[in-house]
Structure 1
């Protein structure tokens, strides 16, 4: 597969045959006081797989697509930003966000639910992007002694995990080095100020309200004020003071212009997330506070998604029908109908809707993923495979797509290819031993052919290196 082949080239450049000899630069040497950009990218690739395997990532394709789109919009407005950022939505009610080397930005669902408009969410993401572009994470290594590359990876993973979850990070610490690593967990005050400053400039360049940074900080202080049950996790890793809010306000005041605060896409994503997270509460609130005819379309959309989650699909379809068939709502309305029909077992109607959507939005993952799933449910594995092929060949494919790809291949009797896809599924989640098991199963299939066997054995060699290094 093209994706794994491209990744193998990167791995070959990273993991030398004498892995134990590959070490970080001497940090005492002023000419190499930071991780190189290449090393940071390599660490990022590894940690993205670890994040996928260890953190509870949200699986909804529409929500993930929204976060990726917002993230890339901000990256495109960031000076000197590389194009390989990855944005992940963590299914965690705590209010927090984090950055990792190589451009991995994580946002908890709790933070998205706590923001009041898209500008506030963009402010948090812009702040985390600035931590990456200014290489604040790489600078955590300054002054360290020479260490083995893999040991450094483990320590860095522990430090970054602690920024997300202190208990997770402490459990991951390498023995004997926890105390030293703990001292490096949080960004310095200077780094936070720099990330605020650059984050505000990123907001302005992307057309967002620069005051949103201070607005969100004030929001966090409100949530942590008297009577609150607990301090938001964001404040533990990003301490907010009155002077920091004042600085952000003064810096934002330097910019004049007509900036946007919100978007329809944000409000739809928020409504969808609320409905998926707490469908019963969403239904009770709607039925207590609203009448269908008077509710705005975003509120009705969230209500319909909650109805689907509770199995009330006929009602959901009626509510979705009330949404305007204008272009701005067509995709959400149509996907919602397909979700309702699939939940009700009306596969014929769902497939008709998804076939039309796939023709209108070719390559759009939220549509393609639901379409392929519906095709698999109706026994049309060959058609599903054609839908999935271009998606799994992308850089850093979603593991969920790889698993569906393997399922389609298995249903078509392509067992060696199915095991190979499952090996990729595990590999992209940092599950190297499970990946090896799938590769070994693939190699047991008779009649592989020389080309396929050589490809699988080359992957076996790569995975074996990761297992030895872990």
Structure 2
């Protein structure tokens, strides 16, 4: 199983040609898309594509882990010289993989983070995917599918990107409808696309301060691990274009920048520890794992290992033991997001949400636009039976950071529990819109406007938002 996961990992850097004989193949993503598709059309396609991704894969709603992935991604975007729309998200599956979809949607599998021995290796894969997006590889290769309807196109792309991870029972009728077209109009991806993504990705790595050798080194390690652990190389690894020569080309590109040493961030190690304990369905097994590795000294970062231990203990309900592990970490790193959020979680589970509110109030005041801290603070207020205050706190946050779906979901809950029915519908609509569900979002706003006791000013705001979403829906239908 491990060998298969490592083999799949190589796909995210090789991205072989899409074909029915290769269910795990990932497409190349490619160049000057504006002549093929408008920005609005690409946004529509991205939204429809994500509906299939959400049906097929467990996208993480953990704010701490998602914030880390988004922060790393945006740091690379800033160094890439190619600003634009990017949405980084975490998929909680052990597969060592990543993919880029339309509208800059970049998914990172948990298995990739766990397989990365350094943050540079993880950044190398993200930088490679960024290059596919910035060079419009997908949109260029998509030209042959321009005559297909939007839902069918999105399903075809989801099947192409996700391969066998797409449940055959999901949208079976749609799959049958496009099967013939897909067989005749496969997306073609070139070796040049891959070489370009490698080259640009390495340049981005170097500008971001990461070791440019991390990319060819990671690819080489994965390929070697596959050969050692699985004597029968899967067909998709034998047939994809360029293996050793591609690694050599990447090595030559890295050599132009020279070796750079950058220590891994603490957040990288904390994310790996978190994902390691979450990978165990039985929390006690996770507790035993971290206890044993700490006792034997088998870890790369002791702080992260103790954090993973505290998380596992919390999940297992051993709250006092978890607190004993967390306390020295908080003393050493009093402003570390991961530790503050975990401390609040322990307090809530222990029936003391007021303590969590007190502990988070100052950090939230210092970082009003920080997603994980603000969500933990609002959850603590909710647990303390203070939903109106939680809603007010989140309203201040979304004024600075709009568009985060889990936050709107929490706002809808807070509005409902504080007796504000119209706001419950309003934030439910925003949650659906942020989740790429335009039509259901419109229905929620319509329900809100039917309420008898709605305030005039709020009604005006809801009507304005409804008109905006309806205009988007009409424009989208006009483009289909």
TM class by shorter-chain length? Answer: 0.7 to 0.9
1:287 aligned onto 2:288: no
Select 1:164's aligned residue among 144, 162, 165. 162
Secondary structure at the counterpart of residue 291 of structure 1? helix
Residue in 2 that maps onto 1:306: 312
CA distance in 2, matches of 1:181, 1:258: 44
Residue in 2 that maps onto 1:4: none
| Gaps in structure 1 of 5+ consecutive residues | 1-29
Deviation of 1:222 after TM superposition, in Å, equals 3.7
1:344 aligned onto 2:350: yes
Residue in 1 that maps onto 2:194: 192
| Gaps in structure 2 of 5+ consecutive residues | 1-31
Q: How does 1:376-415 map to 2 (within 5 A)?
A: 376-393=382-399, 397-415=403-421
Residue in 2 that maps onto 1:18: none
Residue in 1 that maps onto 2:17: none
Residue in 2 that maps onto 1:375: 381
**C-alpha contact 1:406 1:418 (8 A) present in aligned 2:** yes
Residue in 1 that maps onto 2:69: 67
Residue in 2 that maps onto 1:213: 215
**C-alpha contact 2:152 2:178 (8 A) present in aligned 1:** no
Q: Matched residue pairs, number?
A: 437
**C-alpha contact 1:433 1:467 (8 A) present in aligned 2:** no
Report the more deviating stretch, 176-185 or 64-73: 176-185
Residue in 2 that maps onto 1:12: none
Q: How does 1:128-207 map to 2 (within 5 A)?
A: 128-142=129-143, 144=144, 147=147, 151-152=149-150, 154-166=152-164, 168=166, 176-181=177-182, 184-185=186-187, 187-207=189-209
Report the more deviating stretch, 297-306 or 253-262: 253-262
**C-alpha contact 1:119 1:262 (8 A) present in aligned 2:** yes
Q: How does 1:422-437 map to 2 (within 5 A)?
A: 422-432=428-438, 434-437=440-443
**C-alpha contact 2:57 2:165 (8 A) present in aligned 1:** no
Residue in 2 that maps onto 1:225: 227
CA distance in 2, matches of 1:384, 1:122: 35
CA distance in 1, matches of 2:93, 2:262: 28
Shift of the 94–234 alpha-carbon distance from structure 1 to 2, 3 Å rule, reads farther
Secondary structure at the counterpart of residue 116 of structure 1? coil
1:454 aligned onto 2:444: no
Deviation of 1:120 after TM superposition, in Å, equals 0.5
Shift of the 122–468 alpha-carbon distance from structure 1 to 2, 3 Å rule, reads same
Shift of the 373–174 alpha-carbon distance from structure 1 to 2, 3 Å rule, reads same
Deviation of 1:152 after TM superposition, in Å, equals 4.2
Question: TM-score, normalised to structure 2's length?
Answer: 0.80
CA distance in 1, matches of 2:315, 2:231: 29
**C-alpha contact 1:220 1:232 (8 A) present in aligned 2:** no
**C-alpha contact 2:124 2:205 (8 A) present in aligned 1:** yes
Deviation per CA, 1:410-469: give whole Å up to 9, x if none: 222221221121122223323455434423432331043352463365267358649978
Residue in 2 that maps onto 1:354: 360
Shift of the 291–237 alpha-carbon distance from structure 1 to 2, 3 Å rule, reads farther
Secondary structure at the counterpart of residue 422 of structure 1? helix
1:316 aligned onto 2:317: no
CA distance in 2, matches of 1:398, 1:424: 9
Question: TM-score, normalised to structure 1's length?
Answer: 0.82
CA distance in 2, matches of 1:454, 1:95: 45
Shift of the 349–328 alpha-carbon distance from structure 1 to 2, 3 Å rule, reads closer
**C-alpha contact 1:95 1:233 (8 A) present in aligned 2:** no
Deviation of 1:96 after TM superposition, in Å, equals 1.1
Select 1:259's aligned residue among 261, 278, 281. 261
Secondary structure at the counterpart of residue 122 of structure 2? helix
Deviation of 1:355 after TM superposition, in Å, equals 1.5
**C-alpha contact 2:155 2:175 (8 A) present in aligned 1:** no
**Runs of 4+ with >6 A deviation:** 229-240, 292-295, 466-470
Shift of the 138–236 alpha-carbon distance from structure 1 to 2, 3 Å rule, reads farther
Of Structure 1 and Structure 2, the greater helix share is in 2
Shift of the 78–401 alpha-carbon distance from structure 1 to 2, 3 Å rule, reads same
Q: How does 1:105-120 map to 2 (within 5 A)?
A: 105-120=106-121
CA distance in 2, matches of 1:237, 1:124: 21
Shift of the 395–178 alpha-carbon distance from structure 1 to 2, 3 Å rule, reads farther
**C-alpha contact 1:323 1:329 (8 A) present in aligned 2:** no
